[in-house]
Amino acid sequence: AQKVTQAQTEISVVEKEDVTLDCVYETRDTTYYLFWYKQPPSGELVFLIRRNSFDEQNEISGRYSWNFQKSTSSFNFTITASQVVDSAVYFCALSDNQAGTALIFGKGTTLSVSS
Amino acid sequence: DTGVSQNPRHKITKRGQNVTFRCDPISEHNRLYWYRQTLGQGPEFLTYFQNEAQLEKSRLLSDRFSAERPKGSFSTLEIQRTEQGDSAMYLCASSSGQGAYYGYTFGSGTRLTVV
């Protein structure tokens, strides 16, 4: 069965610290997509990144970077030099053929960045 | 294009009452999804439309829940005889094609509280 595990429930850091959010997934499919979403207090889910299973290149976008490792079924997200505006709940999600059109979300990690 | 719009933003209802939520997707998106998010959890898939056809339903969608998408534009989600366990955030998303490939755009959600 498909599953996404975000073991860190809450993380608190001070501004300018680097922080890594962990995501481990389970799927039997060879073709799948992984996502990260940010959910600020306003509630909407903001898309951050999508990665397909055939592209293991790490990606950097400004202060954000993602480390995809198929060998360990992990898709971790690092925020460099965190800012107060990064405070939100972050979700990792999986989409594969078994899930059909559905996204399978983890339980989320709440990140609190203090000044 | 103002994104995915959901109304109302908040709804408080008494147990046993019926409620209806509305989702207006991005106009050119032919696919529409409903998710439910309870406190401390990630969103869970409820149902999916391609144009006006409801193509997938999760087992989470009990007989008290019904969704429609007349004319393939906006969608409504109705909950009959609400129960306290229905209290959650109901999120709508849309996509222009297969969501995993083209990406999903989420609305801000409707927060339902059943008292």
AA letter at A114: S
Residue range B41-47: average pLDDT? 95
Confidence at residue B74, expressed as pLDDT on a 0 to 100 scale:
96
Tell me: pLDDT of B101 over 80: no
Distance of alpha carbon A31 from alpha carbon A83, whole angstroms: 35
Lowest-confidence segment of A49-53, B6-10, B31-35, B101-105 by average pLDDT: B101-105
Specify the long-range contacts of residues A66-73, CB closer than 8 Å, at least 24 apart.
Answer: A66/A36, A68/A34, A72/A24, A73/A24, A73/A25, A73/A26
Determine how β-strand B10-13 pairs with β-strand B110-114.
parallel
What secondary structure does DSSP assign to A29-59, as a single string?
A: -SSEEEEEEEE-TT-PPEEEEEEETT----E
Residue B112: pLDDT band by 50, 70, 90 thresholds?
A: very high
Please judge whether B42 and A107 are an interchain contact, meaning their C-beta atoms are less than 8 angstroms apart: yes
Series of mean pLDDT values for 10-residue runs along chain A (115 residues): 94 97 95 93 89 86 93 96 97 83 93 96
Residue range B46-50: average pLDDT? 93
Interface of A with B in 43-102 (CB under 8 A): 43-47, 50, 91, 93, 95, 99-102
Confidence at residue B90, expressed as pLDDT on a 0 to 100 scale:
97
Chain B nearest C-alpha distance from A17 (Å) = 25
Distance of alpha carbon A3 from alpha carbon A25, whole angstroms: 6
Task: Give the three-class secondary structure for B9.
Answer: coil
* A27 Cβ contact list (under 8 Å, min separation 6): A2, A94, A96, A98
Tell me: pLDDT of B15 over 90: yes
Confidence at residue A114, expressed as pLDDT on a 0 to 100 scale:
96
Confidence at residue A97, expressed as pLDDT on a 0 to 100 scale:
72
Please judge whether B89 and A43 are an interchain contact, meaning their C-beta atoms are less than 8 angstroms apart: yes
Please judge whether B44 and A50 are an interchain contact, meaning their C-beta atoms are less than 8 angstroms apart: no
Integer CA distances (angstroms), A14 to A5, A63, B51, in order: 25, 15, 46
Tens of pLDDT, residues B60-92: 889 999 999 998 899 999 999 999 999 999 999
Confidence at residue A3, expressed as pLDDT on a 0 to 100 scale:
94
